Structure 1
Amino acid sequence: MGKFYTDEKNAQIIIALLKEHGIKKVIASPGTTNMALVVSMQFDPFFEVYSSVDERSAAYMACGLVAESGEPVVISCTGATASRNYLPGLTEAYYRKLPVLTITSTQPISSIGHNIAQVIDRSSLPTDIANLSLTLPIVENEQEKWDCEIKVNKAILELKRNGGGPVHINLPTTYGTFETKELPIAHKIERYELIDKMPRLLENDLIAIFIGAHVKMSNELTLSIEKFCEKNNAVVFCDHTSGYYGNYRILGSILGGQSMGLSNFKRPDLVIHIGEVTGDYYSSPLIRNKVWRVSPDGEIKDTFKKLIKVFQMDEASFFNYYAINGLNMSKNTYFPLCTNKIEELRSKLPEIPFSNIWIASMMAHLIPQKSTIHFAILNSLRSWNFFELPKSVESSSNVGGFGIDGCMSTLIGASLTNKEKLYFSVIGDLAFFYDMNVLGNRHVGNNLRILMINNGVGTEFRQYNHRASEFGNSADAFVAASGHYGQKSPKLVKNYAENLGFEYLTASNKKEFTDVYKRFLESDITEKSMFFEVFTENEKESYALERMLNIEENVKGKAVKVATQLIGKKGIKGLKGIIGK
């Protein structure tokens, strides 16, 4: 056997990231399951490895070594009860906030609970021996590699976070060989606070801020973002949940969603990520390079799998710092590059069939000033993310839990805040029927405008680019849940809404829509709240989305070819005839 590294990738990642973070002191206890890790470090001159037969002594030795050297220390043990002997020393480390990284090796986790020798359950730890406890995967694919890298980074960074303290990693082994001559390059993540020496921005980098769902943004934060963008040639990628309505706002969906890619457009070199979960799936292709995440919680949330730095601080402090200590550019050239590209795409926008997307194109810019609009998840939010709202209109969506339940109830709750303000909703039929009972609440006022897109099916699952599309109409039975709730009855919702005191509007094609939609957009609060039920077809919804995502190379034949493959020649012939309806 050569003096090489283990072939087990999870152990390789630990070793590589320990080296990246400068952690070299190790106290090893004897065993077989931890041999992959210990032997690999033994033959790497970077590490200082010490031996301790007694794990109880090893943990206390680590406390002394940490306290004296000021450096984190790794302790490693094997399976069975070895780790139980760490408890007294780790309790000491916890209450003294000493950064001891405990790596307990184990047989595969699936062995727990089957009377297999030397296998114990470490999934539940005393609360005062570790600030964080993680179990690594056995790495066999890229997803598991990413998961392992994130967890090891979390563990290492937690050693010094919020004053520091011990951290636990449970490391499964497969007793592999030792033939790896060079460690893989591991994805290192660093964490900063305002008291630290902050990293610098690179002069030639194009910078974008990406905002996920965000609480209402204060004027202070908006102004700090404005100054940051002005000084650092940056833009802000938003969707309708982002809460930023400033001068550098860019709706990223129409850019990132182009399936043929973008010509004459440069993606950002650095993305500053703030906010929480996003429903803007289509902006992700714009984020291909470095990501810095800024959040007071300081958590490692690698949404785009490009995270390299985390800033544990409030967002305004971060942007104010880099407005002063950033690139100090004299002119912002990236914002016009983005807006010009969007204008170019909109100028090529093909005719869209009657659908949620077409309705959004007709209504988004006409939503009354200073109102609020809530979008149901997926099709409604996605369709309206392609089009900008008036600057004074606030928008929201339940993208936290990301379920179809509760959209109407959330709208009603919001509408109670200000009876003199209009509250709009755009919602699909399944989401509406899921939550329709709330319209009977006695607190419902006359400031609601509900737009229901009724296509009689979970149209998300019938989109041309959804995995269920390969099953065609067969998906309707159970995946897309077609045929429920009156099967697009023209009377069911009408009677329900009118009996609850709503003014009811309806449309089934473009002409009927244009005849009534301006009533729905009346800027004054009317005697009754309004319910606008629009009937669409899922085939048109799918075709509309396909057209929106292929504007950049909108060759008529190519679009027809794609649609033909999905719904057949007969179907595409029918769509050509009704696209204007």
Structure 2
Amino acid sequence: MAYSDKKNLLELVALMDAFDIHHVVLSPGSRNAPLIHTFVEHPDFICYTIVDERSAAFFALGMAQRLQKPVAVCCTSGTALLNYSPAVAEAFYQEIPLLVLSADRPAAWIGQTDGQTLPQPGAFGSLVKKSIQLPEINTDEEHWYCNRLINEALIALTKNGFGPVHINVPLSEPLYQFTEAALPVVRVVRLEHVTSTFEVAFFANEWNHVRKRMIIVGQMAPQHELKEILSLLTQKTDVVIVAEHLSNLAISEATGHFDAVLSALSDEELNMFMPDLVITVGGHITSKRIKQVLRKNKSPQLWDVRPNGQVADTYQSLTTVIPVESDVFFTQLLESVNVDQEHSFSERWKQRILQTKQILQRYVPAQPFSDLKAVSAFMHGLPDNVTLQLSNSSPLRYAQLFPLKPTIEIFSNRGTNGIDGVLSTAVGFAAENQKLTFLLIGDLSFFYDINGLWNRYLSPRLRIVLLNNGGGNLFHLIGGPRKSSALDESIAYKHNTTARERAITLGFQYLSAGAEVEYESQLPLLWNANTEQPILMEVFTQTEVNSAVFNSLYQSFKNHIK
């Protein structure tokens, strides 16, 4: 084997090897050919090649979701880098360690009307934790500088929380000189991770002096220790845990139907359900309603447990930022707070949640075939020990209405809530997942990112359920867009596109259903783990029916939850 002769590149690859960053998604190009060649030649690197840079970056993001460790994505110079931007933004807000490697012309040629040049350093602005430009190494000092910069960048991937980092690599011609027999021996700078400690007495004392307590858990990767701790905390004390599916907190004590409960509360009842102390942990919450309610009815105290110490005042009543890991905080809190003899606040919430579930059990079977009914059957039928990827917009909101088995892990691109890389992310996730990976996705998200299926890495364990209702269904579920005459043509984008031909061409086993009996008869085919092909099921529903069923459901909550 022989590697590129570019010294900055060799330093980078050797340090990535030392930092155990071995998964690399490559986008074809000439300026990055020395990088491509060196990664492919080295036996420790696992390389994937994806032509579409936007899709490639989301594919890498999905892999990092699965692996819970850094994954690199590498492109050539020019506009190729800008196509990584959506995935970089998602990685930043979802706190995923995505390492962006961009090849570049030498700095002297930027802005000189040379081909494929633009100012690449700092291209992602504040959406990366760190951005560096490597020097081309000609002296010992430049060698030391290059090594120091790379160490700083690779440390930043996981320092004070995960996040994306950009390394720009200028490469002078000639590019295709592969003469180095080995990577250099490099200096590695390590960052020691010390377990955070804090004084819990103040927080335990404040906890003991209030009676209406709420913990809101946002989007998180699976954390089994936290699940156990919070379960014990609810048994010991009177506390309501608000958690959507994306929290991966599938414990019986968590309140998953809080949005429905809040939608049915009268002004007179609201105060009884509002907390005096809120503790937030994790990332985004999908429910717009809980944000609006808590912003209007501010809690006297709101603590945000956030390891990186960032101020995130989502509910406009933040009083304390606690910069420790959530399991550390809640473990010490659990050991220090008093036992509550009465659980009146949580019982009040539990009664309303039970009513919500009873309404759903009566309501859904009586409805015509629709997205709500399709998602209900899908969620109830999912096998144990699988992974579920949820598209943004209506699939995410429908899924939240139905129970999730505690053995199922769930992911979604809710960092920036975009639809642009949903499919690519799921495909990348499935490529590294030994279990079945299910994706529930809407039609606009699917067709927007159809290039996500144009690669060689479609896992036979991938299962896609495509809800095709002929447009952006979410815009028919919420009130505002329905007031516009441009709704169908330009907001929801009404269409009659189907996935059949593309799915078959790309190697999928294709299923379709437009009626309830047909749909439910084919669902068991999706649960089968022993197939040689990925499976795509396209479910056809009517937008008008979907809208009527969904809005009628929330009216039922208002009428019957008391």
TM-score, normalised relative to structure 2: 0.58
Pairing 1:279–2:286 present: yes
Q: How does 1:89-128 map to 2 (within 5 A)?
A: none
Say whether the 8 Å CA contact 2:379–2:404 is kept in structure 1: yes
Q: Distance in 2 between matches of 1:518 and 1:549?
A: 30
Q: Does the aligned pair in 1 maintain the 2:221–2:248 contact within 8 Å?
A: yes
- Inter-partner Cα distance in structure 2 for 1:197 and 1:254: 33
- Partner-residue secondary structure (3-state), 2:375: helix
Larger radius of gyration: 1
What is the Cα deviation at residue 449 of structure 1?
0.9
Q: Report the alpha carbon displacement of residue 258 of structure 1 after superposing the two structures with TM.
A: 2.3
In the alignment, structure 1 residue 198 sits paired with structure 2 residue 206: no
Within the candidate set 212, 216, 221, 1:210 is matched to 216
User: Equivalent residue for 2:493?
Assistant: 481
- Deviation sequence 1:527-557 (CA, Å, 0-9, x none): 32211101112212211221222223338xx
Structure 2 residue 273 is matched with structure 1 residue 269: no
Aligned counterpart, 1:5:
none
Aligned residue type for 1:478:
S
Corresponding residue of 1:471: 484
Number of the residue aligned with 2:447: 433
Aligned to 1:102: none
Contact 2:200 2:333 (C-alpha < 8 Å) held by counterparts: no
The answer for the alignment partner of 2:313 in structure 1 is: 302
Structure 2 CA distance for aligned equivalents of residues 257 and 380 of structure 1: 21
Any conservation in 1 of the 2:311–2:321 contact (CA below 8 Å)? yes
Q: Distance in 2 between matches of 1:475 and 1:552?
A: 27
Q: Structure 2 vs 1, CA of residues 530 and 401 (structure 1 numbering), >3 Å: closer, same or farther? A: same
In 2, Cα distance between equivalents of 1:270 and 1:353: 42
Preserved contact between residue 454 and residue 535 of structure 1 (Cα < 8 Å): yes
- Counterpart amino acid of 1:531? L
Please give the alpha-carbon distance, in whole angstroms, between the structure 2 residues aligned to 1:496 and 1:259: 43
Instruction: Give how far 1:429 is off.
Output: 0.5
Counterparts in 2 of 1:435 and 1:320: CA distance versus 1, 3 Å: same
Give the drift of 1:196. Answer: 7.8
Among 407, 410, 424, the alignment partner of 2:438 is: 424
Deviations 1:357-409 (A, max 9, x none): 22122221221100000111121101101111111111111000211011111
Q: Deviations over 1:503-549 (max 9, x none)?
A: 11111122322232232233x33232211101112212211221222
Q: CA deviation at 1:257?
A: 5.1
Deviation at 1:274, TM superposition (A): 0.5
CA distance in 1, matches of 2:429, 2:321: 33
Q: What is the CA deviation profile of residues 190-212 of structure 1, one whole-angstrom value per residue up to 9, with x for unaligned ones?
A: xx982486242144522221111
- Distance in 2 (CA, whole Å) between partners of 1:208 and 1:286 is 14
Deviation at 1:300, TM superposition (A): 1.9
SS at match of 1:369: coil
Partner Cα separation in structure 2 for residue 509 and residue 282 of structure 1:
32
Residues 357 and 475 of structure 1: is their aligned pair in 2 closer, same or farther, counting only changes over 3 Å?
Answer: same
Q: Is structure 2 residue 451 aligned with structure 1 residue 445?
A: no
Q: Is residue 404 from structure 1 mapped to residue 419 from structure 2 by the alignment?
A: yes
CA apart distance, 1:416? 1.8
Contact map agreement 1:273 1:292 (CA 8 A) in 2? yes
**CA separation of 1:411 and 1:246: change in aligned 2, threshold 3 A:** same
Of 215, 226, 233, which residue of structure 2 is paired with 1:228? Answer: 233
Aligned to 1:552, what secondary structure does the other structure show? Answer: helix
Map of 2:547 onto structure 1: 542
Distance in 2 (CA, whole Å) between partners of 1:338 and 1:497 is 45
1:499 is displaced (CA, Å) by 2.0
Name the structure 1 match of 2:375: 360
Residues 271 and 506 (structure 1 numbering): CA distance in 2 closer, same or farther, change over 3 Å?
Answer: same
> Quick one: structure 1 residues 339 and 530, their matched pair in 2 at CA, closer, same or farther if it must change by over 3 Å?
farther
2:511 alignment partner in structure 1:
505
The Cα shift of 1:285 comes to 5.6
CA distance in 1, matches of 2:489, 2:473: 13
The aligned residue for residue 392 of structure 2 is 377
Identity fraction in percent: 26
Rate the CA distance shift 1:333–1:379 in 2: closer, same or farther, 3 A: same
Q: 1:275 to 1:496 in 2, by over 3 A?
A: same
SS in 1 for 2:465: strand
Counterpart CA distance in 1 for 2:411 and 2:261 is 21
Q: Secondary structure at the match of 1:549?
A: helix
Q: Distance in 1 between matches of 2:278 and 2:404?
A: 24
Question: Do the aligned residues in 2 keep the contact of 1:229 with 1:332 (CA within 8 Å)?
Answer: no
Asked if the contact 1:372/1:393 (under 8 Å) is kept, the reply is yes
SS of match in other structure, 2:484: helix
Rate the CA distance shift 1:286–1:228 in 2: closer, same or farther, 3 A.
farther
Deviation at 1:248, TM superposition (A): 2.0
Contact 2:213-2:276 at 8 Å conserved across structures? yes
CA contact (8 A) 1:398 1:407 kept: yes
Shift of 1:437: 1.6
Q: 1:221 to 1:306 in 2, by over 3 A?
A: same
- 1:553 matches 2:534: no
What are the within-5 Å matches in structure 2 for residues 386-405 of structure 1?
A: 386-405=401-420
AA in 1 matched with 2:481: A
Q: Which one of 457, 468, 471 corresponds to residue 454 of structure 1?
A: 468
Contact 1:214 1:243 in 2 (8 A): yes
1:268 is matched by which residue type in structure 2?
P
Question: Structure 1, residues 404-441: CA drift from partner, whole Å, max 9, x if none?
Answer: 0111111111112233x100011011100111122231
CA separation in 1, counterparts of 2:442 and 2:298?
Answer: 35
Residue 526 (structure 2) pairs with residue 520 (structure 1): yes
In the alignment, the residues of structure 2 paired with residue 203 and residue 321 of structure 1 have an alpha-carbon distance, to the nearest angstrom, of 17
Unaligned runs of 5+ in 2: 1-159, 161-195
User: Cα 1:257–1:431, aligned 2, differ >3 Å: closer, same or farther?
Assistant: farther
The DSSP-based 3-state class of the residue aligned with 2:556 is coil
| Secondary structure, aligned partner of 2:490 | coil
2-structure distance, mates of 1:371, 1:196? 37
SS at match of 2:491: coil
State the match for 1:311 in structure 2: 322
**Correspondence list, 1:43-62, <5 A:** none
Alpha carbons 2:200, 2:336 under 8 Å: kept:
no
Aligned equivalents of 1:196, 1:272: Cα separation in 2: 14
Paired position in structure 2 for 1:255: 260
Quick one: distance in 1 between partners of 2:391 and 2:266?
Answer: 28
Residue 426 of structure 2 aligns with an amino acid whose one-letter code is: L
Paired residues, number: 354
Q: Is the 8 A contact 2:231 2:253 kept in 1?
A: yes
> TM (normalized to structure 1)?
0.57
Higher relative contact order (CA 8 A, sep 6+): 2
Query: Structure 1 residues 261 and 394, CA, compared in 2 at 3 Å: closer, same or farther?
Result: farther
Residue 352 of structure 1 and its aligned partner are, at CA, apart by: 3.4
Q: Cα deviation per residue 1:327-360 (whole Å; 9 max; x = unaligned)?
A: 3224655555434322212323333343222212
